[in-house]
Amino acid sequence: MKIQLSDHFTYSRLMRFTLPSIGTMIFTSIYGVVDGFFVSNFAGKTPFAAVNLIYPFLIIVGTIGYMFGSGGTAVVAKTFGEGAYEKANQYFSLFIYFAAALGVIFAILGFLFIRPISVLLGAEGELLENCVVYARIILVALPFFILQFIFQSFFVTAEKPQIGFVVTVFSGITNMVLDAVLVILLPQEHKLAGAAVATAMSQVVGGVVPLFYFGRNNSSILRLGKTRIDGRAVLKACTNGSSEFMSSVAMSLVSMLYNKQLLKYAGENGVAAYGVMMYVSMIFSAAFNGYTIGTAPVIGYHDGAQNHDELRGLLRKSLIITGTFAVCMVAAAELFAAPLSHIFVGYDAALKALTVSGFRIFALSFFFMGFAIFGSGFFTALNDGLTSALISFLRTLVFQMAAILILPLLWGIDGIWISIVVAELMAVVLTVVFLILKRKKYHY
């Protein structure tokens, strides 16, 4: 049975509607992890460290799509809730075209300046050359990477999250197959470039297929077509999505700071260990992000339609679901810390020991992470970009940067792993405060 944004959502219906989005985000993370597996095991420790060092920068520029996806979804869903269907499709088309154009511009700039950026991040010698090779290949596909991000959100708004999941699966299979072929078969000096080509081609698939779907007659409520420049709509989408943009940018900046601190305290082994944790963390946090993306259009629709009882129920159910996810994830992370670490760095006993000990501490952050992610996304869906951005800014930048700079002075490298736990706990407290303060305004 088809589920529509206007429906009443029980726990069962909410999970069925959000499951494709959760699957999409998890699968996206998994094929990123597969990329790391091939680079680490077949290209070597230095190329693996190079990918982990430069990838946060690539995420920053790709996050433009996440911003227009989450922020634009809020605008389009609310417009649908108000009954203005043609206007909603014009907004949808505008956001897609605008994000793609920005992708071309940033791809050119990134290609030109990637070497000094890599030096700024601390790369030198062989590590520097590997960063440049990998990043330049990925940057060629940047416009498609941005489109892949934005369409992940809009497939949900179009009431077709299942199609979004299928596109992601095809994209992921492209990456995995090409990884297996290029990284294994190419000579040692070209294995890293092969991994980059595999990732870039998967992004092309993820960006182009939705263009064909939405560019033709389809059974969804969205279709690409003619539009006009609307500066206010673009600004509103950017404001709404600023929290998601800020979150991804801040997380990338913090990852850069983590890498600098780890180079100081543990050398390349520290960077490689953190890379393993980030890959696994991507999968776990993807469930929270996927659920938030899946519920956002529903929240936006019912806010636009002034269905306050439904909005209140969505918030309550979502907090319970998020808490259940959190408990399961921490248990799984503690249980599988050693085997997951072995998959990536089992070839180096010292590196594996460092990874396992750090990951057992790091995993405690999953208790708190989901509540802050959903809280920020909840306010984005309500078109309250300022509150959402404050939660994301303080959570991902201020709290984490303070913790990563202070706690290692007290506990050495363990302080680096503890810092993420402390930052997420503080973010949950902040989220609860905003939910209480905004309750009367939004009637939830």
Model confidence pLDDT, tens digit, residues 248-304: 677 777 777 877 787 777 777 777 778 778 777 778 888 998 899 889 888 988 888
- Which residue would you say has higher pLDDT here, 208 or 120? 208
- Residue 221 to residue 157: CA distance in whole angstroms: 8
Residue 42 pLDDT greater than 80, yes or no: yes
Contact 66, 150 (CB under 8 A): yes
Residue 318 pLDDT greater than 90, yes or no: yes
Q: Name the residue with tokens 């890498």.
A: 259
SS3 228: coil
Sign, CA dihedral 303-305-307-308, equals: positive
- Residue 211 to residue 237: CA distance in whole angstroms: 20
- Residue 315 to residue 335: CA distance in whole angstroms: 31
Kindly report the backbone phi and psi dihedral angles of residue 230, in degrees, each rounded to the nearest multiple of 5, phi listed first: -130, 95
pLDDT band at 37 (very low <50, low <70, confident <90, very high): confident
Give the pLDDT confidence score for residue 205 in this predicted structure: 94
Work out the percent of the chain whose per-residue pLDDT is above 70. Answer: 98
- Residue 208 to residue 96: CA distance in whole angstroms: 12
- Residue 341 to residue 358: CA distance in whole angstroms: 10
The tens digit of pLDDT for each residue in 417-434 reads 898 899 999 999 999 999
Average pLDDT over residues 123-149: 91
- Which residue would you say has higher pLDDT here, 364 or 1? 364
Give the pLDDT confidence score for residue 321 in this predicted structure: 96
- Which residue would you say has higher pLDDT here, 7 or 150? 150
The tens digit of pLDDT for each residue in 355-367 reads 888 889 988 999 9
- Residue 169 to residue 335: CA distance in whole angstroms: 27
**pTM over 0.95, yes/no:** no
Residue 244 pLDDT greater than 70, yes or no: no
CA nearest neighbour of 289 among 10, 13, 6, 28? 28
Work out the percent of the chain whose per-residue pLDDT is above 90. Answer: 33
pLDDT band at 1 (very low <50, low <70, confident <90, very high): low
Chain centre to alpha carbon of residue 443: 29
Residue 317 pLDDT greater than 90, yes or no: yes
Cβ atoms within 10 Å of 219's Cβ, excluding its own: 9
Burial 135-160 (b: 16+ CB within 10 A, else e): bbbbbbbbbbbbbbbbbbbbbbbbbb
The tens digit of pLDDT for each residue in 44-62 reads 878 887 887 788 788 888 8
Per the prediction, the chain carries an average pLDDT of 86
SS3 186: coil
Q: Name the residue with tokens 């095991």.
A: 41
Contact 255, 118 (CB under 8 A): no
Residue 240 pLDDT greater than 80, yes or no: no
pLDDT band at 32 (very low <50, low <70, confident <90, very high): low
Helices (H), 305-348: 308-345
Average pLDDT over residues 349-354: 82
Average pLDDT over residues 137-150: 93
- Strand segments (E) across 166-284: none
Average pLDDT over residues 117-131: 86
Give the pLDDT confidence score for residue 102 in this predicted structure: 92
The tens digit of pLDDT for each residue in 70-120 reads 788 888 988 888 888 889 899 999 999 999 999 999 999 999 999 999 888
Average pLDDT over residues 314-324: 95
Chain centre to alpha carbon of residue 232: 26
CA nearest neighbour of 36 among 365, 362, 280, 261? 280
Average pLDDT over residues 210-220: 91
Average pLDDT over residues 149-172: 88
What is the token pair recorded at 272?
Answer: 């490689």
Give the pLDDT confidence score for residue 330 in this predicted structure: 93
CA nearest neighbour of 92 among 222, 236, 257, 265? 222
Give the pLDDT confidence score for residue 265 in this predicted structure: 77
DSSP state of 183: I
